[in-house]
Amino acid sequence: MNIETNKERVYEAADYQDGAVYTTQVCIIGSGCGGATLAKRLTDFGVNVIVLEQGSYIPATKMDQRELNMMGKLYGERGMGTASDQSSQIMHGNNVGGASVHYWADSYRTPQDKLDSWQQEFGMKGHDMKDLAPAFDEIEKSLNIHQAPDQLFNNLNNKFRSACQSLSWHGHRVPQARKHCVGSGHCMQGCLYDAKQSQMITHIPTAIKQGARVFANARAGKLISQGGTVKQVVKQVRVDIMDPVTAKASGKTITISADAVVVAAGGFNSSYYLLQQGLKKQLPALGKYFSMNPSTMMHSLFDEDIIQWRNIPAAWGIDEYRQRRYQQGQYSEGGYLLMPSQLQPAMLAGVLPGIGKQHHDWMKNAPKIGGTISWLDDIESELGEIRIKDNGQREVYYPYGELTQKVLKDSLVKQVILNFEMGAKKVMVAGAQGVQLNSVDEMNKLDDLMMTSAGLYLAAPHPGGGCRMGENPKTSVVDSDHKVHGWNNLFVADSSVFPSSSSLDPSLTIMAFSYIAADRIMETLGV
């Protein structure tokens, strides 16, 4: 199914009349894994839905696979945003379909240990595996989620798998949301072939077919509310129409009248949006407990061509070290997932350290460069915060505390071992210091490497928290019904409700949680 067949229900910048008022039962702010899935689930039961997306509608026919061009079109802040201290590159979607259009399509069910922790430590209810399993089953079927087949393993993935097996590290085929993949390798630039099962070609077209309207180039502004007998009630959402060329407000505005409003703007922006509404005093936990699954890379140079930018990004993953291990109460190792990396040449050039000859010597051998990436499970005692500056801009704070730095160090140690086991003749740590190792015997070079932004290239692709779910309004933002504390018809449905890091790619968890949210919203509406 393709959106193009129902294009009359997709509105773009030129389609809005200034000052117009649109009425719906549910207004959803955001069209990524949370918002799109929620729209599909609600329309399954005949609920009238409008989905707001501040980015543009970009079908596959407009995806030219040019790295820098597509980054500007698909990524929030054109992929150039960073945390407040420039410590981490911020990566999120800014288009219909959200980050699902440029994600790697890894699709994991939530680990049971995480669900147990969220229930036991944070009081989350109604989101255990028995509650989520029906949603997982349905979503996996609709998105064609399956383990990566051998034919989509590129040379790097094959070397990665072989090294994992020779080291006796527990690994697995990564579950993928794909259908008829041609192995172009342009997953991060949007799939020209509609093979990656993003929200653009799955839940959004289904929702549209069932009556939903998608408002692209529409940025949610002020919530218009009134005090109820017990709780606040949202009545309207003011919306700024965005210029698709400049990505700035055009001056045109519209209003959405709705019976319920759902914030699904993603891990970076949902708490920011609620902060903009002045809710921090009412909700002291708003913006706090922010996680981002921080990642660090290692580049490796091989004797033969690797061409890491072909086929799928991560066909094999190592979960041997997903959970942290302790000895006598002290951290010993683990707390991350290891995967093969995949970067197109332009992005590779941007993250390879060094200047001048060192950088040139590596880039002239770009087809022979491979590498690995680690995804850290955020430390519960060292989480960050989404803040709002005096000028109204969003600020992403992440501390990279003492334990986080120890986990980063261990992930690099394991990556060095892994890359040389893969057959690399030398490896380089992604970061400003440009540390290069010629064998595992030079592991001591990592000792002087700063485990912060000063020494490492760090990315934040999987944000969560900021609107933590829980029963205590002093330590959480939404209850287990996804309803904002103190509000009767205001909900949040995306990764921002996670009490802590989901440990793995969160997309499937977000979608399954959205099923629960949809059911609770329908109860509120009396559907």
% of residues, the chain, pLDDT over 70: 96
Question: Is residue 470 one of the residues assigned to a domain?
Answer: yes
Same domain for 486 and 359? no
How far apart, in Å, do the first and last CA atoms of the chain sit? 27
Report d(CA 74, CA 419) in Å as an integer.
Answer: 31
Distances (CA, A) of 250 to 19, 247, 302, 420: 13, 9, 50, 53
**Sequence-separated (6 or more) residues with CB below 8 Å from residue 240:** 218, 219, 221, 249, 250, 252, 253
The reported pLDDT for the residue numbered 354 is 73
How many angstroms separate the CA atoms of 189 and 75, rounded? 9
Please indicate, yes or no, whether residues 340 and 218 belong to a single structural domain of this protein.
Answer: no
Q: Does residue 419 sit in the same domain as residue 305?
A: yes
Domain identity same for 430 and 472: no
328 & 425 share domain = yes
Contacts of residue 87, Cβ cutoff 8 Å, sequence gap at least 6: 398, 400, 452, 453, 458
- Both 286 and 331 in one domain: the answer is no
| Any domain includes 299 | yes
Each residue's pLDDT tens digit, 337-385: 999 999 888 888 888 877 788 888 888 999 999 999 999 999 999 999 9
Task: Tell which residue, 42, 17, 13, 16, has the closest CA to residue 27.
Answer: 42
Query: What is the distance between the alpha carbons of residues 74 and 98, in angstroms, rounded to a whole number?
Result: 8
Least confident of 162-171, 262-271, 393-402: 393-402
pLDDT tier at 455, thresholds 50, 70, 90 = confident
pLDDT band with cut points at 50, 70 and 90 for residue 229:
low
79: pLDDT strictly greater than 70: no
**Of all residues in the chain, what percent are helix, strand and coil, respectively (each to 5)?**
30, 25, 45
Question: pLDDT value at position 7?
Answer: 59
Q: pLDDT tens digit string along 121-154?
A: 999 999 999 999 999 999 999 999 999 999 999 9
The string of pLDDT tens digits covering residues 306-326 is 999 999 989 999 999 999 999
Say if 76 falls within a structural domain: no
Q: How many domains does the chain have?
A: 2
Does 152 share its domain with 138?
no
Q: Are residues 165 and 32 in the same domain?
A: no
pLDDT at position 273 over 60:
yes
What CATH number is associated with residue 42?
3.50.50.60
Q: Which two tokens stand for residue 471?
A: 């029963």
The confidence score (pLDDT) of residue 87 equals 66
Q: What pLDDT score was predicted for residue 228?
A: 66
The residue with greater pLDDT, 425 or 226, is 425
Q: Averaged over 169-197, what is the pLDDT?
A: 92
Residues 112 and 182 in one domain: no
Q: Is residue 79 part of a domain?
A: no
Tell me, yes or no, whether 352 lies in a domain: yes
Structural domain for 235, as ranges: 3-58+108-142+200-290+462-525
The answer as to whether 265 is a domain residue is yes
pLDDT in tens, 383-429: 999 999 989 889 999 999 999 999 999 999 999 999 999 999 999 99
Same domain, 271 and 298: no
**pTM score, two decimals?**
0.95
Shared domain for 361 and 501, answered yes or no, is: no
Concatenated DSSP letters for 399-451? Answer: ---HHHHHHHHHHHHHHHHHHHHTT-SEEEESSTT--EESSGGGGGGGGGS-S
Per-residue pLDDT, 1: 46
Pair (346, 491) in one structural domain:
no
How long a stretch of residues is the chain? 527
Q: Provide mean pLDDT across the span 440-463.
A: 86
Residue 376 counted as domain residue:
yes
Tell whether 44 is covered by a domain: yes
- For the stretch 478-487, pLDDT in tens is 999 999 999 9
